[in-house]
């Protein structure tokens, strides 16, 4: 019985290591392709998603221009 328990622990360690390596290898290109291409396109169009520019303002709130619509537009939205 002890041998089987030892083999089970060894199996968990080995498979856990293999899973971590495979996940790293598969997800690394996905990250670089997804985030990298998005970053390059954003820099080409000079788009800042977080608006990190420092400006001398009293408040950093932005105005939200919400227009009132017809009541039928809001009825049964989902």
**What residue spans define the domains of the chain?**
2-64
Binning pLDDT at 50, 70 and 90, where does residue 13 land?
A: very high
Instruction: Taking residues 44-58, report their average pLDDT.
Output: 80
| CA 41 – CA 31 distance, rounded (Å) | 15
| CA 17 – CA 24 distance, rounded (Å) | 11
Tokens found for residue 35: 């985030």
3-state secondary structure at position 14 = helix
Residue 8 has pLDDT above 80, yes or no: yes
3-state secondary structure at position 75 = coil
Higher pLDDT, 5 or 62: 5
Residue 54 has pLDDT above 80, yes or no: no
């Amino acid at each position: 019985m002890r041998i089987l328990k030892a083999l089970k622990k060894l199996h968990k360690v080995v498979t856990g290591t293999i899973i971590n390596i495979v996940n790293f290898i598969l997800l690394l290109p996905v990250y670089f392709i997804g985030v990298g291409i998005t970053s390059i396109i954003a820099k080409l169009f000079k788009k800042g998603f977080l608006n990190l520019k420092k400006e001398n303002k009293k408040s950093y709130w932005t105005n939200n221009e919400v227009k009132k619509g017809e009541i039928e537009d809001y009825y049964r939205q989902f």
